[in-house]
Amino acid sequence: MAMLCVAIDSAQIAAARIVDGDVGGDDVRRAAIPAASVWESCRNLLTEVAGEMPITAIGLAVVGPVDMAAGVVAPVDIPEWRAGFDIVGAIRSLFPSAAVRFLVDGACLALAERNLGHASEAIDSLVVLVSDLVSGGIIVGGLTMVGRTGNAGNFGHMPVPGFDGPCRCGSRGCLDTVAAGRSMVEWARARGWTGQNPRELIDAARNGETVPVEALARAGTALGLVIASAAVLHDVDLVVVGGLAGESGPALWDPLVAAVAAHARTGNLTELRVVASELGEEGVLAGAAILALSGEDEPG
Ligand SMILES: [Zn+2]
Protein backbone atom coordinates (compact mmCIF):
# COMPACT_ATOMS: atom_id res chain seq x y z
CA MET A 1 0.00 0.00 0.00
CA ALA A 2 1.39 3.38 -0.92
CA MET A 3 0.43 7.04 -0.73
CA LEU A 4 1.60 10.10 -2.58
CA CYS A 5 2.47 13.59 -1.40
CA VAL A 6 2.41 16.31 -4.02
CA ALA A 7 3.27 20.03 -3.96
CA ILE A 8 2.35 22.28 -6.88
CA ASP A 9 3.48 25.89 -6.88
CA SER A 10 3.60 28.38 -9.71
CA ALA A 11 7.01 27.17 -10.88
CA GLN A 12 7.20 23.44 -10.25
CA ILE A 13 5.53 20.24 -9.15
CA ALA A 14 7.22 18.00 -6.58
CA ALA A 15 6.02 14.54 -5.61
CA ALA A 16 7.13 11.60 -3.51
CA ARG A 17 5.78 8.17 -2.70
CA ILE A 18 5.06 7.22 0.89
CA VAL A 19 5.41 3.52 1.71
CA ASP A 20 4.72 2.24 5.23
CA GLY A 21 4.57 5.82 6.50
CA ASP A 22 8.07 6.68 5.26
CA VAL A 23 8.75 9.49 2.84
CA GLY A 24 12.14 8.98 1.28
CA GLY A 25 13.77 12.43 1.02
CA ASP A 26 15.92 11.22 -1.85
CA ASP A 27 12.88 10.07 -3.73
CA VAL A 28 11.31 13.48 -4.31
CA ARG A 29 10.80 13.99 -8.04
CA ARG A 30 10.34 17.40 -9.57
CA ALA A 31 9.21 18.86 -12.86
CA ALA A 32 8.92 22.46 -14.01
CA ILE A 33 5.41 23.80 -14.65
CA PRO A 34 5.34 24.13 -18.44
CA ALA A 35 3.75 26.99 -20.35
CA ALA A 36 1.14 24.62 -21.81
CA SER A 37 -0.33 21.19 -21.02
CA VAL A 38 0.21 21.67 -17.29
CA TRP A 39 -1.98 18.78 -16.20
CA GLU A 40 -0.28 16.47 -18.68
CA SER A 41 3.04 17.29 -17.04
CA CYS A 42 1.58 16.72 -13.56
CA ARG A 43 -0.04 13.45 -14.65
CA ASN A 44 3.22 12.15 -16.10
CA LEU A 45 5.13 12.92 -12.91
CA LEU A 46 2.47 11.42 -10.62
CA THR A 47 2.22 8.27 -12.72
CA GLU A 48 5.99 7.90 -12.67
CA VAL A 49 6.22 8.41 -8.89
CA ALA A 50 3.31 6.04 -8.17
CA GLY A 51 4.84 3.25 -10.23
CA GLU A 52 2.97 -0.03 -10.09
CA MET A 53 1.81 0.25 -6.48
CA PRO A 54 -1.86 0.86 -5.68
CA ILE A 55 -2.23 4.37 -4.23
CA THR A 56 -4.60 4.61 -1.28
CA ALA A 57 -4.29 8.30 -0.36
CA ILE A 58 -2.89 11.51 -1.79
CA GLY A 59 -1.96 14.69 0.05
CA LEU A 60 -1.76 17.73 -2.16
CA ALA A 61 -0.30 21.18 -1.44
CA VAL A 62 -1.25 23.75 -4.05
CA VAL A 63 -0.56 27.40 -4.68
CA GLY A 64 -3.75 29.36 -4.06
CA PRO A 65 -6.29 30.64 -4.46
CA VAL A 66 -8.42 27.51 -4.15
CA ASP A 67 -12.07 26.63 -3.87
CA MET A 68 -11.83 23.95 -1.24
CA ALA A 69 -15.40 22.68 -1.54
CA ALA A 70 -15.18 22.31 -5.32
CA GLY A 71 -11.63 20.89 -5.32
CA VAL A 72 -10.61 23.63 -7.73
CA VAL A 73 -7.37 25.64 -7.94
CA ALA A 74 -7.17 29.00 -9.71
CA PRO A 75 -3.55 30.20 -9.51
CA VAL A 76 -2.99 33.55 -11.18
CA ASP A 77 0.47 32.53 -12.36
CA ILE A 78 -0.49 29.34 -14.16
CA PRO A 79 -2.43 30.77 -17.13
CA GLU A 80 -4.01 27.45 -18.09
CA TRP A 81 -5.50 27.08 -14.62
CA ARG A 82 -6.23 30.74 -13.89
CA ALA A 83 -9.96 30.44 -14.51
CA GLY A 84 -10.12 27.36 -12.29
CA PHE A 85 -8.90 23.78 -12.70
CA ASP A 86 -10.57 20.76 -11.08
CA ILE A 87 -7.34 19.40 -9.63
CA VAL A 88 -9.05 16.98 -7.25
CA GLY A 89 -11.24 15.57 -10.04
CA ALA A 90 -8.23 15.19 -12.31
CA ILE A 91 -6.23 13.35 -9.64
CA ARG A 92 -9.20 11.14 -8.77
CA SER A 93 -9.53 10.15 -12.42
CA LEU A 94 -5.90 9.04 -12.32
CA PHE A 95 -6.13 7.23 -8.95
CA PRO A 96 -9.84 6.34 -8.56
CA SER A 97 -9.45 4.43 -5.30
CA ALA A 98 -7.33 7.04 -3.49
CA ALA A 99 -8.56 9.45 -0.83
CA VAL A 100 -7.49 12.94 -1.93
CA ARG A 101 -6.81 15.66 0.65
CA PHE A 102 -5.62 19.12 -0.28
CA LEU A 103 -4.67 22.46 1.24
CA VAL A 104 -3.01 25.63 -0.01
CA ASP A 105 0.78 25.48 0.29
CA GLY A 106 1.03 27.88 3.24
CA ALA A 107 -1.45 25.80 5.24
CA CYS A 108 0.54 22.67 4.38
CA LEU A 109 3.68 24.28 5.76
CA ALA A 110 1.68 25.17 8.89
CA LEU A 111 0.61 21.54 9.20
CA ALA A 112 4.22 20.39 8.87
CA GLU A 113 5.40 23.02 11.35
CA ARG A 114 2.74 21.99 13.85
CA ASN A 115 3.72 18.31 13.61
CA LEU A 116 7.45 18.41 12.94
CA GLY A 117 8.78 21.94 13.46
CA HIS A 118 8.87 24.89 15.80
CA ALA A 119 5.09 25.29 15.84
CA SER A 120 4.87 22.04 17.81
CA GLU A 121 6.00 24.18 20.76
CA ALA A 122 2.85 26.35 20.72
CA ILE A 123 -0.90 25.87 20.59
CA ASP A 124 -1.54 29.05 18.63
CA SER A 125 0.91 30.30 16.02
CA LEU A 126 1.33 31.84 12.60
CA VAL A 127 3.38 30.41 9.76
CA VAL A 128 4.54 32.61 6.89
CA LEU A 129 5.87 31.06 3.69
CA VAL A 130 8.03 33.31 1.51
CA SER A 131 8.84 31.70 -1.81
CA ASP A 132 8.20 32.90 -5.35
CA LEU A 133 4.97 34.27 -3.80
CA VAL A 134 4.01 34.80 -0.14
CA SER A 135 1.44 32.64 1.63
CA GLY A 136 1.04 31.18 5.07
CA GLY A 137 -1.09 29.42 7.63
CA ILE A 138 -2.82 30.14 10.91
CA ILE A 139 -2.77 27.58 13.72
CA VAL A 140 -5.48 28.01 16.33
CA GLY A 141 -5.86 25.58 19.20
CA GLY A 142 -3.39 23.26 17.51
CA LEU A 143 -5.42 23.08 14.29
CA THR A 144 -4.61 24.65 10.95
CA MET A 145 -7.38 27.04 9.90
CA VAL A 146 -8.67 26.58 6.38
CA GLY A 147 -11.23 29.39 6.30
CA ARG A 148 -14.52 29.53 4.42
CA THR A 149 -13.05 28.76 1.00
CA GLY A 150 -9.70 27.23 1.94
CA ASN A 151 -7.64 30.42 1.64
CA ALA A 152 -7.07 31.42 5.27
CA GLY A 153 -3.53 32.57 6.04
CA ASN A 154 -2.99 34.37 2.75
CA PHE A 155 -0.39 36.78 4.09
CA GLY A 156 0.69 37.71 0.57
CA HIS A 157 -2.34 39.92 0.00
CA MET A 158 -2.39 41.77 3.29
CA PRO A 159 -1.80 45.48 2.64
CA VAL A 160 1.44 46.90 4.05
CA PRO A 161 1.47 50.49 5.35
CA GLY A 162 3.85 52.66 3.32
CA PHE A 163 3.83 50.52 0.18
CA ASP A 164 1.69 51.23 -2.87
CA GLY A 165 2.89 49.07 -5.77
CA PRO A 166 0.17 47.46 -7.93
CA CYS A 167 -0.61 43.85 -7.06
CA ARG A 168 -1.76 41.18 -9.49
CA CYS A 169 -4.83 40.67 -7.25
CA GLY A 170 -6.05 44.16 -8.25
CA SER A 171 -5.15 45.90 -4.99
CA ARG A 172 -2.06 47.97 -4.18
CA GLY A 173 0.68 47.62 -1.60
CA CYS A 174 0.11 43.93 -0.83
CA LEU A 175 2.93 42.09 0.96
CA ASP A 176 3.41 40.05 -2.20
CA THR A 177 4.47 43.15 -4.15
CA VAL A 178 7.39 43.71 -1.77
CA ALA A 179 8.44 40.43 -0.17
CA ALA A 180 7.68 37.69 -2.71
CA GLY A 181 10.84 36.26 -4.24
CA ARG A 182 9.90 37.46 -7.70
CA SER A 183 9.05 40.96 -6.41
CA MET A 184 12.39 41.31 -4.64
CA VAL A 185 14.18 40.30 -7.83
CA GLU A 186 12.10 42.67 -10.00
CA TRP A 187 12.74 45.57 -7.62
CA ALA A 188 16.49 44.94 -7.59
CA ARG A 189 16.73 44.47 -11.36
CA ALA A 190 14.87 47.75 -11.92
CA ARG A 191 17.73 49.37 -9.98
CA GLY A 192 20.54 47.88 -11.99
CA TRP A 193 21.17 44.54 -10.30
CA THR A 194 21.75 41.93 -12.99
CA GLY A 195 21.00 38.66 -11.19
CA GLN A 196 18.08 36.41 -12.10
CA ASN A 197 16.53 34.80 -9.05
CA PRO A 198 16.01 35.11 -5.29
CA ARG A 199 18.86 32.75 -4.39
CA GLU A 200 21.30 34.93 -6.31
CA LEU A 201 19.80 37.98 -4.63
CA ILE A 202 20.34 36.48 -1.18
CA ASP A 203 23.94 35.57 -2.03
CA ALA A 204 24.58 39.08 -3.39
CA ALA A 205 23.17 40.59 -0.17
CA ARG A 206 25.48 38.36 1.88
CA ASN A 207 28.35 39.80 -0.17
CA GLY A 208 27.21 43.29 0.78
CA GLU A 209 25.92 44.47 -2.62
CA THR A 210 23.89 47.60 -1.97
CA VAL A 211 20.78 47.02 -4.09
CA PRO A 212 20.25 43.38 -2.98
CA VAL A 213 20.72 44.45 0.66
CA GLU A 214 18.07 47.17 0.15
CA ALA A 215 15.70 44.73 -1.59
CA LEU A 216 15.89 42.30 1.33
CA ALA A 217 15.64 45.11 3.88
CA ARG A 218 12.37 46.50 2.47
CA ALA A 219 11.00 42.92 2.22
CA GLY A 220 11.98 42.32 5.84
CA THR A 221 10.32 45.52 7.01
CA ALA A 222 7.12 44.71 5.09
CA LEU A 223 7.07 41.17 6.49
CA GLY A 224 7.59 42.51 10.00
CA LEU A 225 4.70 44.98 9.66
CA VAL A 226 2.31 42.29 8.45
CA ILE A 227 3.49 39.79 11.05
CA ALA A 228 2.94 42.37 13.79
CA SER A 229 -0.62 43.05 12.52
CA ALA A 230 -1.42 39.36 12.33
CA ALA A 231 0.09 38.65 15.76
CA VAL A 232 -2.03 41.41 17.31
CA LEU A 233 -5.13 39.99 15.67
CA HIS A 234 -4.52 36.35 16.59
CA ASP A 235 -2.94 36.72 20.05
CA VAL A 236 -0.10 34.28 19.33
CA ASP A 237 3.31 33.93 20.95
CA LEU A 238 5.07 32.28 18.01
CA VAL A 239 5.53 33.11 14.34
CA VAL A 240 7.48 30.74 12.11
CA VAL A 241 8.85 32.11 8.86
CA GLY A 242 9.77 29.61 6.16
CA GLY A 243 11.05 29.57 2.62
CA LEU A 244 13.41 32.25 1.35
CA ALA A 245 12.92 34.54 4.33
CA GLY A 246 14.16 31.87 6.70
CA GLU A 247 17.36 31.53 4.66
CA SER A 248 18.11 35.12 3.77
CA GLY A 249 20.23 36.14 6.75
CA PRO A 250 20.42 39.44 8.62
CA ALA A 251 19.75 41.69 5.58
CA LEU A 252 16.10 40.60 5.70
CA TRP A 253 15.83 39.18 9.18
CA ASP A 254 17.07 42.19 11.19
CA PRO A 255 14.55 44.69 9.68
CA LEU A 256 11.82 42.05 10.07
CA VAL A 257 12.51 41.57 13.77
CA ALA A 258 12.83 45.35 14.27
CA ALA A 259 9.45 46.01 12.62
CA VAL A 260 7.78 43.32 14.73
CA ALA A 261 9.33 44.73 17.90
CA ALA A 262 8.21 48.25 16.99
CA HIS A 263 4.59 47.35 16.22
CA ALA A 264 3.63 44.26 18.25
CA ARG A 265 3.47 46.23 21.49
CA THR A 266 0.40 45.08 23.39
CA GLY A 267 1.10 43.38 26.71
CA ASN A 268 0.01 39.94 25.52
CA LEU A 269 2.77 40.01 22.87
CA THR A 270 5.77 40.65 25.10
CA GLU A 271 6.79 36.99 24.74
CA LEU A 272 6.26 36.91 20.97
CA ARG A 273 9.00 34.95 19.18
CA VAL A 274 9.65 35.08 15.45
CA VAL A 275 11.78 32.15 14.30
CA ALA A 276 12.97 30.72 10.99
CA SER A 277 11.54 27.38 9.91
CA GLU A 278 14.03 24.53 9.98
CA LEU A 279 12.05 22.25 7.69
CA GLY A 280 13.85 23.56 4.62
CA GLU A 281 12.79 23.21 1.06
CA GLU A 282 10.62 20.13 1.70
CA GLY A 283 8.45 21.71 4.41
CA VAL A 284 5.41 22.13 2.18
CA LEU A 285 5.77 18.61 0.81
CA ALA A 286 6.06 17.27 4.37
CA GLY A 287 2.70 18.93 5.10
CA ALA A 288 1.24 17.20 2.06
CA ALA A 289 2.59 13.91 3.38
CA ILE A 290 0.84 14.50 6.71
CA LEU A 291 -2.37 15.20 4.78
CA ALA A 292 -1.99 11.96 2.87
CA LEU A 293 -1.43 10.00 6.06
CA SER A 294 -4.50 11.62 7.65
CA GLY A 295 -6.58 10.71 4.57
CA GLU A 296 -5.82 7.02 4.77
CA ASP A 297 -8.83 4.77 5.46
CA GLU A 298 -11.24 7.60 4.74
CA PRO A 299 -13.35 7.83 1.65
CA GLY A 300 -12.00 10.31 -0.88
ZN1 LIG B 1 -2.62 41.49 -3.71
**What's the whole-number average pLDDT of the chain?**
93
Residue with the larger pLDDT of the pair 248 and 238: 238
Residue with the larger pLDDT of the pair 243 and 298: 243
Q: Which of 75-84, 85-94, 214-223 has the least mean pLDDT? A: 75-84
Q: How far does residue 202's CA lie from ligand 1's centre (Å)?
A: 24
Nearest to 59 by CA among 15, 89, 29: 15
Q: How far does residue 154's CA lie from ligand 1's centre (Å)?
A: 10
Provide mean pLDDT across the span 7-34.
85
Q: How far does residue 103's CA lie from ligand 1's centre (Å)?
A: 20
Equal CATH topology for 2-104+282-294 and 118-276? yes
**Residue 40 reports pLDDT greater than 50:** yes
Provide mean pLDDT across the span 68-95.
95
pLDDT (0 to 100) of residue 245: 85
Instruction: Give the residue extent of every domain in the chain.
Output: 2-104+282-294, 118-276
**Residue 5 reports pLDDT greater than 90:** yes
Q: What is the percent of the chain where pLDDT is above 90?
A: 88
- Type of residue at 207: N
User: In this predicted model, what pLDDT tens digit does every residue of 247-299 receive, in sequence order?
Assistant: 889 999 999 999 999 999 999 999 999 999 999 888 999 999 999 998 544 44
pLDDT (0 to 100) of residue 295: 59
Give CATH superfamily name and number for 118-276. Answer: ATPase, nucleotide binding domain (3.30.420.40)
Q: How far does residue 196's CA lie from ligand 1's centre (Å)?
A: 23
Provide mean pLDDT across the span 6-33.
85
Neighbour-count burial of 276, counting CB atoms closer than 10 A to its CB (0-12 exposed, 13-18 middle, 19+ buried) = middle
155/18 Cα distance (integer angstroms): 30
CATH topology of domain 2-104+282-294: Nucleotidyltransferase; domain 5 (3.30.420)
pLDDT (0 to 100) of residue 299: 42
Residues whose Cβ atom is located within 5 A of ion ligand 1? 157, 167, 169, 171, 174
User: In this predicted model, what pLDDT tens digit does every residue of 146-202 receive, in sequence order?
Assistant: 999 999 999 999 999 999 999 988 999 999 999 999 999 999 999 999 999 999 999
DSSP one-letter string for 161-227 = TT---B-TTS-BSBTHHHHSHHHHHHHHHTTT----SHHHHHHHHHTT-HHHHHHHHHHHHHHHHHH
CB 131 within 8 A of CB 243: yes
Q: Is the pTM of this model over 0.85?
A: yes
Q: What is the percent of the chain where pLDDT is above 70?
A: 96
Q: How far does residue 120's CA lie from ligand 1's centre (Å)?
A: 30
pLDDT (0 to 100) of residue 23: 66
Would you mind telling me the total number of residues written for the chain in this entry? Answer: 300
